Amino acid sequence: MPPIVALGCGLVGEYVIHRLADDGHKVTAVDIRIPNSLTERTDVISIEQDAYAYVNALTSPTVVVNMLPGRIGHDVRKPLIAGGHQIVDLAFTEEDPQTLDAMAKQHASTMIWDVGIAPGFSNMLLAQAQRELGPMDEVSIHVGGNPTQADDKWSYMAPFSPSDVIEEYTRPARIVRSGEIVTVPALTERHRIEVEGTDGMDAFLTDGLRSVLKTIDANDMAEYTVRWPQHIDRWLAEGHTIPEEELIKAWKFDQERPEFTWLRVRCSAKTSVREWTVVDYGKNGHGSMARTTGLVTYALASLFATKGPSYCGLGHGVHPPEHVNENTLKHVIEVFEEHDVSIS
CA distance 104 to 123: 22
State yes or no: pLDDT of 94 exceeds 90.
Answer: no
pTM equals 0.95
State yes or no: pLDDT of 1 exceeds 90.
Answer: no
55-71 pLDDT, tens digit per residue, is 999 989 999 999 998 77
By CB neighbour count within 10 A (0-12 exposed, 13-18 middle, 19+ buried), where does 202 fall? buried
Residue 275 dihedral angles phi and psi, to the nearest 5°: -140, 135
Which of the 8 DSSP states describes residue 94? S
Mean pLDDT of the region 91-95 = 85
Q: What is the pLDDT of residue 265?
A: 98
CA distance 316 to 334: 26
CA distance 34 to 30: 7
What one-letter code names the amino acid at 75?
Answer: D
Q: What is the pLDDT of residue 188?
A: 96
CA distance 130 to 65: 28
State yes or no: pLDDT of 337 exceeds 80.
Answer: yes
Domains of the chain in start order, with CATH, are: 4-116+292-343 (3.40.50.720), 121-286 (3.30.360.10)
Angle, CA of 201, 153 and 288, to the nearest 5°:
55
State yes or no: pLDDT of 246 exceeds 90.
Answer: yes
State yes or no: pLDDT of 219 exceeds 90.
Answer: yes
State yes or no: pLDDT of 5 exceeds 90.
Answer: yes
CA distance 28 to 129: 37
303-328 pLDDT, tens digit per residue, is 999 999 999 999 999 999 999 999 99
